[in-house]
Amino acid sequence: MSDSSTYPPSPVRDTLYSSSPHEPIDKREARRKLKAQHRAGQYGDPTNITLLVLALALLYWFLPIPGIFEFLYSKRNARDSCKCTGVNAAGEVLLKPTMPWQKQFTLSSRSKGCHLIQNEIMPHLEEGLKGVKVGVLTLFIQHTSAALTLNENFDKDVRTDMDMALDKVVPESLPWRHTDEGPDDSVSHTKTSLIGASVTIPITDGRLNLGTWQSVYLCEFRKLSHKRKIVATILP
C-alpha cells in the first residue's frame, strides 16, 4: 500500500508541536523569560504571600495575641468547650454545660430580719442548673454581718420566730466591746458565725433537690438596709 505521507508526520507550524518536545532547554534563558514575565505583571510571585500566611498561622496557634486574633480565639474556644452529649427526639444536639459553674450576684436591699430569698436567687441559677443530672450547689455570702440558712418556707411566722430566737441567744444588750460600726456591730458578727456564711444543696435532674417545705433564707443582722453579694458555685 503506497502512501505519499510519512510517519511520523512532519510538524505543523504555529502549533504546540511545532518544535520537538525533546529538544534541550536553555535553563538560563527560561529563567530570564520567567523574570521578564514577573516584571511585566503576567505572574505574581507567591513566595512572599506563602511566608506571610505561615507566619500568621504560627502567631495564631502559639502566641495569645489580642485584637486581630480575638475573634478567632473565641471561636476556637467555643468549639473546644462544646461537649455534645447526644441528640434528642427532635434532632437537636444536646450540649453538656461547662462545669464547674460559678456566678456572683447581688440581693435586693433588706433591713434587719430573716428573709425568704428563694424566688430571688432562682433566676440567677437557671443557667448553671441546665443539664446537670447530679451535682451540688453552694451559696456563699460575702459578708460578716449576714448569713444564709435553710428553713420552712410556708408560715411567715417562722421568719419572726427566727429573728426573735437569735436576739435571745445573742442579745444586743450584752457589753459588746467591738462597736466601731455601731451597737449592732459585734452582735451581728457573732450571729453570722453561729448561723454560717453558706448553704449546700444537692442538684438532681437540673433542679434543686430541696424538701417540700425547704427554702433559702437571708438572715440580715444589721438594722440599716444593706445589699448583700452572693457567690453561687455548681460542681458535678
DSSP letter string over 19-68?
A: S-TTSPP-HHHHHHHHHHHHHTTSS---HHHHHHHHHHHHHHHHS---GG
pLDDT in tens, 152-196: 999 989 999 999 999 999 999 999 998 998 999 999 999 999 999
Is the pLDDT score of 118 beyond 60? yes
Q: In what order do the strands lie in the sheet with 101-106?
A: 101-106, 229-235, 134-141, 198-204, 207-208
Radius of gyration of the chain (CA): 38
Q: Which band of pLDDT confidence, cut at 50, 70 and 90, is reported for residue 48? A: confident
Please report which confidence band the pLDDT of residue 56 belongs to, taking 50, 70 and 90 as the band edges.
Answer: confident
pLDDT of residue 115: 96
> Over 50: is that where the pLDDT of 82 sits?
no
Domain map of the chain by residue range? 47-81, 101-235
Q: What pLDDT digit, counting tens, does each position of 58-74 carry?
A: 777 766 555 555 555 55
d(CA 78, CA 25): 55
- pLDDT at position 53, please? 83
Q: Which CATH superfamily is domain 101-235 in?
A: YjbQ-like (2.60.120.460)
| Cα–Cα distance for residue pair 20/218, rounded to 1 Å | 96
